[in-house]
Amino acid sequence: MTAHHTTRRAILAGAAAAPIAAIPGTASASSVLPAIDPIFAAIESHRRAFAEYGRVLRETPEDRNVLAEAAVAKACDGADDAARALLDVPPSTTAGAAALLRYVAEFEEKYFDCMPDRVFSEEDGEESDGIDWHHALQRHVADALDAMRPLGGGSVS
């Protein structure tokens, strides 16, 4: 068995017991806009993946064996993949951009720093440290808002 380290998984072990659905953020908008803006489906996918991670953590005994640890790692990877996917789907409406920002802010308030630390792109190369996930989110939303600007309008700065 490995030595205990304070990791995101360890912090989440207690926090993930609370249902992810308790985070408001997108409930009313997501019932109206999913067909228009795909970011709502990406938000819901992350919500489900993190809930699954929480379920696996709750059902995993403290004295984890190799199989239990593998299940936790798989669920954690699923939640991280869903968080990264939030950066792959550009919001196509201002309501979607606001919902994404609100969802992440409320998620972080509730679960304290549970998004991936770094993201990497193919352009980064093998030696890159990538960029902070939250920095990538800010650029992602700014680019999406820029793409929504009226024709002839200036860049969102």
- pLDDT tens-digit series, residues 65-79: 888 888 999 999 999
Q: Give the whole-angstrom CA distance, residue 157 versus residue 146.
A: 9
The reply to whether 43 falls in a domain is yes
Higher-confidence residue: 47 or 30?
47
For the beta carbon of residue 10, count every other beta carbon within 10 angstroms: 11
Q: Give the whole-angstrom CA distance, residue 108 versus residue 105.
A: 5
The reply to whether 2 falls in a domain is no
The reply to whether 52 falls in a domain is yes
pLDDT at 48 exceeding the cut of 80: yes
pLDDT digits (tens, 9 = 90+) for 32-43: 556 689 999 999
User: What are the structure tokens assigned to 47, written together?
Assistant: 């919500």
The reply to whether 3 falls in a domain is no
72 Cβ contact partners less than 8 Å away, ≥ 6 residues apart: 9, 53, 56, 57, 60, 64
Number of structural domains the chain divides into: 1
Q: Structure pTM?
A: 0.71
Of 4-8, 24-28, 37-41, 109-113, the poorest mean pLDDT is in: 4-8
Four-CA torsion 51, 90, 34, 86, nearest 10 degrees: 0
pLDDT at res. 60? 85
The reply to whether 154 falls in a domain is no
Look up the domain containing 19 and give its range.
8-119+127-148
